[in-house]
Amino acid sequence: MTGKRTRYSAEFKAKAALEARRGELTTVQLAAKHGIHHTMVGEWKRQPVEGLASVFSG
């Protein structure tokens, strides 16, 4: 099984992550809406929260 990986822009990831954070749709529904796998939505949703501390560091 050979395939080409799709690279998503930072803007696309941010849009999907913000939609996931709002909680209006489930991650599965968001994944279907954007045509991506649901684990990607979960990962993108988690990353900004983990990196938030670096925004406030000296």
End-to-end CA distance of the chain: 47
The yes-or-no verdict on residue 1 having pLDDT over 70 is no
CA–CA gap between residue 1 and residue 20 (Å, rounded): 30
Mean local confidence (pLDDT), 35-54: 90
CB 21 within 8 A of CB 39: no
- pLDDT for 3: 79
What does pLDDT average to over the chain?
90
pTM flag (> 0.85): no
Sequence ranges of the domains in the chain: 10-56
pLDDT digits (tens, 9 = 90+) for 5-33: 889 999 999 999 999 999 899 999 999 99
